[in-house]
Amino acid sequence: MAFTLGTASQATGCAKSTILRAIKAGRISAVRDDLGQWQIQPVELFRVFPALALLGATPQERDATTDMLVAELRQVISDLRRGQEDLRQERDHWRATQKLRTRTPRRNGCCYPRPQRLQNGTQRRRGEAHRYLKRAATGSPAA
């Protein structure tokens, strides 16, 4: 049983012009009959355009089906959002754990390196300690 342009439109939910464009572009093969109407094989039509689930359904049945599908999709969306929030919480947990790991105590119990202590008991930063020791060795006055 071949479809005409109108019945193909009803079977797929596409406009007749869309199906005719597909025929003219060569995506669907179709032939004209003795009356000049397009005859489209169902296999060819459904290869390009998906079939509607309810071919012979009334508009009320289609509306009920659409409402049911919308409700299911809303449920899927809410499940995905919940999963996304769970992933965000897990990510934040792992970030916090990583921050704690990078600040773990060293052998002396301090998280940060201790500043160097010089011979006279004063504390200097690394670069300054090197300059201070160099001055002390050469006998130049300390700054």
Q: What is the pLDDT of residue 100?
A: 72
Question: How high is the mean pLDDT in each 10-residue block of the chain (143 residues)?
Answer: 90 91 94 92 91 65 79 94 95 86 59 58 57 66 54
Q: What is the pLDDT of residue 80?
A: 95
Q: What is the pLDDT of residue 81?
A: 96
Domain boundaries, the chain: 5-48, 65-104
Give every CB contact of residue 29 below 8 A, 6+ residues apart in sequence: 23, 41, 44
- Show the 3-state SS of the chain: CCECHHHHHHHHCCCHHHHHHHHHHCCCCEEECCCCCEEECHHHHHHHCCCCCCCCCCHHHHHHHHHHHHHHHHHHHHHHHHHHHHHHHHHHHHHHHHHHHHCCCCCCCCCCCCCEECCCCCEECHHHHHHHHHHHHHCCCCC
